[in-house]
Structure 1
Amino acid sequence: MNPVPLVDETLVRRLITGQFPQWAELDVERFPSGGTVNAVYRLGDAMAVRLPLVAGGAGDVATERHWLPRLAPLLPAAIPEVLGTGEPAEGYPWAWSVHRWLAGETPKEGALSEPSLLAKDLAGFVAAMRSVPLPDAPRAYRGGPLATLDAETRAAIEQLRAIPEEDVDCDAATAVWEDALRTPDWDGPPVWLHADLMPGNLLVDGSGRLTSVIDFGCMGVGDPACDLFPAWNLLPSAARDVFREALAVDAPTWTRGRARTLSQALIALPYHRKTNPTMARNARHVIRAVLGEG
């Protein structure tokens, strides 16, 4: 997937002026983000413009436009509200969207003010997603069997083995992964998932409580283990236990969730280590958290 050329404030202004002239006089400002799929720009004080940076993210625009209004009344935290969908223009090749701005700060692993309360908030959101009754759901991006990640995970471990400065215990990572592969797959009905609960897709208020969850491009139905990522990518050990208890997660699902989170981190670290400090930092945090559990 190749990035589109020159997504900047000038392009955003041209797109807004051409397709949403009622907002043409509003300020446009790039919003710093560690994400890799979309660029986000503030539009005035109350809106955000979200433009896919890769072809794989372009389909998310239509998916979110269809599902977000249906999901919003069923969830305990705010989620993006689509105010408008733009069309390809001005040399930009894909659909894009305008959302209502959601206030809050992105939580940072290792720096949570109320980790146990945040763990309960996250568990409440995940439980609500699992209970969504909407039919005809798409398949979640990460919703299938653990074994579908095997080749990519093992390849990433070997990449890291060749990068000694990262100091990853690749034998321990392999042992965790192989143990998880022996765990039974989910045999219940598929459940609704956000499927990308990274810290960058969460917003908290000044007291550290969850206010919003964003970026639903991976959403759909699948294995409930796929929404356990915050246990290792964000929460410290004691809050991790709170999260698990609040969701009443059984041992096989917990094992699969742990392995999925580790897999994502192992794959992300060699890919992002020199280009995306935020993603690389969180990947290192996950690897330490998982392998530190023994």
Structure 2
Amino acid sequence: MHADQVDVTAEVVATLVAAQFPHWRALPIHPLASTGTVNALFRLGTEIVLRFPLRPSTDPAVRAELEREQEHARMLAARLPVAVPEPLGLGGPGEGYPGPWTAYRWIAGEPIHPGRINDLDGFARDLAGVVTALREIDTGGRVWSGSGRGGPLPAQDAGVRTALSVSGALTDTARLAEVWDRCRDVPRHDADGWIHADLMPGNLLVRDGRLAAVIDLETVTVGDPAVDLMPAWNLFDAGSRDTYRRALDVDDATWERGRGWALGQAINALPYYVRTNPVMAAIARRTLRAVLE
């Protein structure tokens, strides 16, 4: 998917585990198919999942990000109504892999697919419960860090316009530009809060038709609460979209900012993944159709 990604093999993973976590060295290792765009995943035994960034680096900032992700996982475990990944370890560079990597406890479930959920309204209420619980966590005075999603929506303008300029053969860019202009300029008056910032279908695990876990916490931060409205367009249909909005008691301005965040994520993803990740491209197309409704 990425020109600079590293392809991690099970043999390399086995070497790293044996050297850094010798108490796990006898456990079998199996690569996991994933439509994710950030990590290669491996199942270690039956209780552990290993996550290897596709773009590893020895930059201390990368390790700090993974440490922060694990800190957030511990914080959220006690505060959210569904499971989140439980940190089990943090590995480092080794033979065949030049960067840090992480170990989490395995969570049973599968990523949501709208066609496999009989009660999207119920799922919308469950997810709204997670977002509400996030918003209720005290930020301790924190504000947006200055990177990633969650800052001023107008700051996304250049990236969105560039993506629109190369997507004319892929989607209705003229109408999307009109929607973007409207959403981008909606004034904001609410305070920053805790957000997941990447509530994509692949990050929502389902078990027995119900939301069981929210995973991939690397984007968790403090920022614009409207970011976590993205599932309204990347996942829900018209009816469950309204259910999600009512469950979160969202005003018009916040709702339109959420539409803008969903549009921005999707229009950037579509041209980037259209040839390399069909699942991500399909989600982007669905999202863009929904924001035009």
TM-score calculated relative to the size of structure 1: 0.93
Q: Which letter does structure 1 place at the counterpart of 2:68? A: T
Match of 2:173 among 140, 152, 170: 170
Give the 4+ runs in structure 1 shifted more than 4 A.
55-59
Deviation, 1:76, is 0.6
Matched residue, 1:181? 184
Answer yes or no: is 1:200 the counterpart of 2:202. Answer: yes
Matched residue, 1:70? 75
Match of 1:146 among 117, 142, 153: 153
Structure 1: how far apart are the matches of 2:135 and 2:56?
Answer: 29
Deviation, 1:105, is 1.1
Structure 2: how far apart are the matches of 1:48 and 1:269?
Answer: 28
SS of alignment partner, residue 181 of structure 2: helix
Equivalences for residues 1-294 of structure 1 within 5 A: 3-55=4-56, 59-135=64-140, 139=145, 141-161=148-168, 163=169, 166=170, 168-185=171-188, 187-206=189-208, 208-291=209-292, 293=293
Q: Is the 8 A contact 1:268 1:280 kept in 2?
A: yes
SS of alignment partner, residue 118 of structure 2: coil
SS of alignment partner, residue 74 of structure 1: coil
SS of alignment partner, residue 195 of structure 1: coil
Structure 2: how far apart are the matches of 1:115 and 1:237?
Answer: 10
| Cα RMSD for the two superposed structures | 1.7
Deviation, 1:261, is 0.3
Structure 1: how far apart are the matches of 2:139 and 2:51?
Answer: 26
Q: Is the 8 A contact 2:139 2:193 kept in 1?
A: no
Structure 2: how far apart are the matches of 1:200 and 1:47?
Answer: 19
SS of alignment partner, residue 111 of structure 2: coil
Distance 1:136 1:113, change over 3 A: same
SS of alignment partner, residue 191 of structure 2: coil
Q: Is the 8 A contact 2:113 2:201 kept in 1?
A: yes
Q: Which letter does structure 2 place at the counterpart of 1:271? A: Y
Query: What stretches of structure 2 of length at least 5 have no aligned partner?
Result: none
Q: Is the 8 A contact 1:110 1:234 kept in 2?
A: no
